[in-house]
Structure 1
Amino acid sequence: MDVELTLLGTGAPEGLPRPDCPCAVCAAARGGAVRAATSLLVDGVLLLDLTPGAALAAARAGRTLAGVRQVLLSHPHEGPAMELPPGLPAAGRVADGRVLTLLSGHRVRAVPMDAPGTGYEVVSPDGERLLYLPPGGAPAGLDAERVRSEPYDLVAADVVGRPDAVARLRVAGVVGPSTEVLAVHLDHGVPQGAELARRLAAAGARAVPDGTALVVGAYRPVPQVPRRTLVTGGARSGKSLEAERRLAAFPGVVYVATGGGRDGDAEWAERVRAHRERRPASWRTEETCDLVPLLAQDGPPLLVDCLSLWLTDAMDRVGAWDDAAWEGGGEKALRARTAELVDAVRATRRTVVAVTNEVGSSVVPATASVRRYRDELGRLNAAFAAECEHLLLVVAGQALVLRG
């Protein structure tokens, strides 16, 4: 028998829009963008998280709570006491690691979290498996759970707030290529609609409206993560943060810093420190401009930040800043290096997200060497973008999809 999962709510504990919040996302949350606090009804017998108006939400979804035999809470519920609909058992929580078996045959195991709250693994009588995580929580001690490495059929988690939770599940092998990942506990940190869908698709996840009913384990297309992405934009536009977001739900990312170090430059050191603190601890950093060997290897995703600094290094190596050297073979050598990089991007089997800069939209540089750099970066960006399935332009912190 198939497992039916009904999402009575998909929002953060305070719902969306938040009461009395003046932010732009809350102001625009109308109609289908309104989300009640997350609550999941499993096969009509198990209610995960009791929220205000649960009975009405179930009725709107064409369901009833009359058959619910267990109500479990995943996180501390602040504010006034929850109203328990008539006929429902008292809400409670299961101790970490304990297994609860319902009369219906469903088995519920409490999964320990790294933040206050409890995750729940639910196994149906026929073996379908789903995992529900609380807001702001990621599984703790997954290494000890590797013996349970069969992929889940469905995972419902705080993908926006804790993308690293999905990364941990991927490392443990419990989120596989066919696992459906649903984003719940959705808050006002990301605009709804196309922007939310785009960010979730980058993590291999999706969101659904309140009241959606799903059959767990039924085949449906999983969002395809673009294999090669170029993120471009102006200075301080948010392009590096956008690139990092695109890989935040994946483990073992190799962050390729093409800028290297600059002795005695305190401002540059502060930039590097801020970037490092923003990255997940599971990521590894390579400080190099030798991108071709990395692209040729198999391995985890690459985040290259950035192509403009790679070009600076490439121009240094061929003496392209000097007019005589440029005319005497520097131009030909630079074009060869650029072509080699573009060929490597075309042939790579790795997931790649690269960052570059948009220059040349302002005044014409005063010197020939700077004009040369501007022109060559434009050519490099165009050639690199031609090999990418996904292309984003970041303006004032907003990502505009140019392709993909």
Structure 2
Amino acid sequence: MKVTLLGTGAADGWPNAFCRCTSCADARRLRDFRAQTAALVDDGLMLDFGPDVMSSAVRQGVSLADVRHVLITHAHADHLAPQSLLFRSWVEGAGDLELIGPADALDACRPWVGPDAAVRFTPVVAGESLRVGEYDVRVLPAQHKVFRDGDAVLYDVTGADGTRLLWATDTGVWPSDWFDRLEGAAFDAVFLEETFGDRGELSAGHLGLDGFGAMVERMRGVGAIVDATEIVAVHLGHHNPPIGELRRRLRTLRARPGRDGEVLAMGEPVGHRIFITGGARSGKSRYAEGLLGGVDDVVYVAAGGPRTGDPDWDRRVEAHRDRRPASWTTVEDTDVAGILRSARRPVLVDCLGTWLTARIDHHNAWENVELDAVRAEVDDLLNAWRTCTVPVIAVSNEVGSGVVPATASGRMFRDELGRLNAAVAELADEVVLMVAGQPLAVR
């Protein structure tokens, strides 16, 4: 299954448009905006359908024209915008649509459907299983309600390829006996709400960080979450800490925050890739190391390989080593592609500029500008970056924003590194530009 996150925010999004708190200010600074949580599966199945869905799809270049089934968790306004059915009806030949959800949620939709519209309603309650197009769907209970117990549900969805996801928003912490329903599920991905950060007491019908951790651990205990499960926090609100701190805290649970627009190709061996670029002394390496600050077992790849006879370089290397955790493994090697393919723990590559320099040196390409062999290695690196099965961060330099180099070799390096950066960024899940020590979220 392919899952596109159209939104990962709480009911009020993140940042909240009316708020000046630290968390909202940080999100605005990074331009890291989250719409109300919803997802599109394989272009044809929607998971929730709130008022932000249509505009989010347009911004992300996603068409909803092929949607034939909508799984609705409950009737709260951020999860269900029945007026969207009217707008859909304005498209000639829009096709059949099945709305699946608690009866109260479906009742909210009926006034927006014309008498001749090809829309059918399938009411469900927790405990039911049904076939939805090519998907097997189990309806699960939610520790959440709109007006009455049972009027909110969660969904366990299995695709035709056998991949399986849990859509778990909105809910508070489950009672212990509910977890038996998930025994041995071994989900490929769990999308679990985490609304309130350290303010979990604000609602028993939502999760804060403590409740999120409790749910994750109980699901691990019954085999619903296994080592290969991708755990994605959604329904994120501004009561959470700023995104950098939230990312670090979720990492201790082997989870991460979702990002609007990201696509998860479930069943494919793809890890989470972050690309960080910027100018000299912009704070790239320090920021990259901070993202992995809560992880004890990291492979740090000094991608330029060993270098001797340069005291200034030795001092720089020593300064980098001193600030990294002693538990990290440092590898000085230009075979970055090989390291990524064999990696079984998170990898930090620092940096692609020194790697490219070393490969141009190796092929004696500075003077003759014979770049076929260098570009073949670039292609190999990109393939390894794309298929890496563990979280990986790559750091690079921006060298094309200043004066045009005076030499042909300098211009060649600028151009080749620019192409490499663009290709790596295209395949990354997140792209960050560092400017004067400040991270700017590019994507």
Structure 2 length normalisation: TM-score? Answer: 0.46
Partner of 1:145: 181
8 Å CA contact 1:201, 1:224 repeated in 2: no
Classify 1:136/1:33 alpha carbon distance in 2 versus 1 (closer, same or farther; 3 Å).
Answer: farther
Partner of 1:9: 7
Task: Describe the superposition over 1:281-327 as per-residue Cα deviations: whole angstroms up to 9, x where unpaired.
Answer: xxxxxxxxxxxxxxxxxxxxxxxxxxxxxxxxxxxxxxxxxxxxxxx
Amino acid at match of 1:99: S
Q: 1:209 aligns with which of 235, 241, 259?
A: 259
Amino acid at match of 1:14: D
Deviation at residue 24 of structure 1 after TM alignment: 2.2
For residues 171-186 of structure 1, the aligned pairs below 5 Å read 171-186=221-236
For residues 266-305 of structure 1, the aligned pairs below 5 Å read none
Deviation at residue 224 of structure 1 after TM alignment: 11
- The DSSP-based 3-state class of the residue aligned with 1:169 is helix
Q: Does residue 170 of the first structure (1) align with residue 220 of the second (2)?
A: yes
Distance 1:225 1:121 in 2: 31
Partner of 1:21: 19
211-220 or 174-183: which moved more?
A: 211-220
For residues 5-404 of structure 1, the aligned pairs below 5 Å read 5-30=3-28, 32-78=31-77, 82-84=82-84, 85-86=87-88, 87=94, 89-90=98-99, 92-93=101-102, 94-103=124-133, 105-116=134-145, 117-140=152-175, 141-145=177-181, 148-159=183-194, 160=197, 161=208, 162-163=211-212, 164-221=214-271, 226=295
Q: Gaps spanning 5+ residues in structure 1: where?
A: 229-404
Distance 2:53 2:242 in 1: 23
8 Å CA contact 1:44, 1:67 repeated in 2: yes
Task: Describe the superposition over 1:319-366 as per-residue Cα deviations: whole angstroms up to 9, x where unpaired.
Answer: xxxxxxxxxxxxxxxxxxxxxxxxxxxxxxxxxxxxxxxxxxxxxxxx
Classify 1:135/1:46 alpha carbon distance in 2 versus 1 (closer, same or farther; 3 Å).
Answer: same
Partner of 1:251: none
Deviation at residue 226 of structure 1 after TM alignment: 4.3
Classify 1:142/1:136 alpha carbon distance in 2 versus 1 (closer, same or farther; 3 Å).
Answer: closer
Classify 1:109/1:50 alpha carbon distance in 2 versus 1 (closer, same or farther; 3 Å).
Answer: same
Distance 1:26 1:206 in 2: 19
Instruction: State percent identity of aligned pairs.
Output: 35
Q: Gaps spanning 5+ residues in structure 2: where?
A: 89-93, 103-123, 146-151, 198-207, 273-291, 298-443
Distance 1:152 1:35 in 2: 25
Deviation at residue 18 of structure 1 after TM alignment: 1.9
Deviation at residue 227 of structure 1 after TM alignment: 6.4
Amino acid at match of 1:67: D
175-184 or 135-144: which moved more?
A: 135-144
Deviation at residue 190 of structure 1 after TM alignment: 2.0
Deviation at residue 191 of structure 1 after TM alignment: 2.9
Distance 1:106 1:212 in 2: 22
8 Å CA contact 1:145, 1:172 repeated in 2: no
8 Å CA contact 1:111, 1:139 repeated in 2: no
Amino acid at match of 2:76: H
Distance 1:124 1:224 in 2: 36
- The DSSP-based 3-state class of the residue aligned with 2:256 is coil
8 Å CA contact 1:75, 1:134 repeated in 2: no
Partner of 1:397: none
8 Å CA contact 1:16, 1:26 repeated in 2: yes
Distance 1:132 1:32 in 2: 26
Classify 1:142/1:81 alpha carbon distance in 2 versus 1 (closer, same or farther; 3 Å).
Answer: closer
8 Å CA contact 2:72, 2:99 repeated in 1: no
Deviation at residue 108 of structure 1 after TM alignment: 1.3
Amino acid at match of 1:74: T
Partner of 1:336: none
Classify 1:19/1:136 alpha carbon distance in 2 versus 1 (closer, same or farther; 3 Å).
Answer: farther
Task: Describe the superposition over 1:56-90 as per-residue Cα deviations: whole angstroms up to 9, x where unpaired.
Answer: 31232232111111112223414895431404554
Structure 1 length normalisation: TM-score? Answer: 0.51
8 Å CA contact 2:49, 2:81 repeated in 1: no
Distance 2:220 2:100 in 1: 31
8 Å CA contact 2:193, 2:235 repeated in 1: yes
8 Å CA contact 1:152, 1:174 repeated in 2: yes
Classify 1:32/1:82 alpha carbon distance in 2 versus 1 (closer, same or farther; 3 Å).
Answer: farther
- Equivalent residue pairs, number: 224
8 Å CA contact 2:74, 2:101 repeated in 1: no
8 Å CA contact 2:50, 2:81 repeated in 1: no
Task: Describe the superposition over 1:216-251 as per-residue Cα deviations: whole angstroms up to 9, x where unpaired.
Answer: 1222348997469xxxxxxxxxxxxxxxxxxxxxxx
91-100 or 161-170: which moved more?
A: 91-100
8 Å CA contact 1:12, 1:187 repeated in 2: yes
Deviation at residue 197 of structure 1 after TM alignment: 1.1
Distance 1:225 1:26 in 2: 23
Deviation at residue 169 of structure 1 after TM alignment: 0.8
14-23 or 217-226: which moved more?
A: 217-226
Deviation at residue 121 of structure 1 after TM alignment: 0.5
Classify 1:224/1:82 alpha carbon distance in 2 versus 1 (closer, same or farther; 3 Å).
Answer: farther
Amino acid at match of 2:181: E
8 Å CA contact 1:204, 1:224 repeated in 2: no
- The DSSP-based 3-state class of the residue aligned with 1:28 is helix
Distance 1:151 1:170 in 2: 9
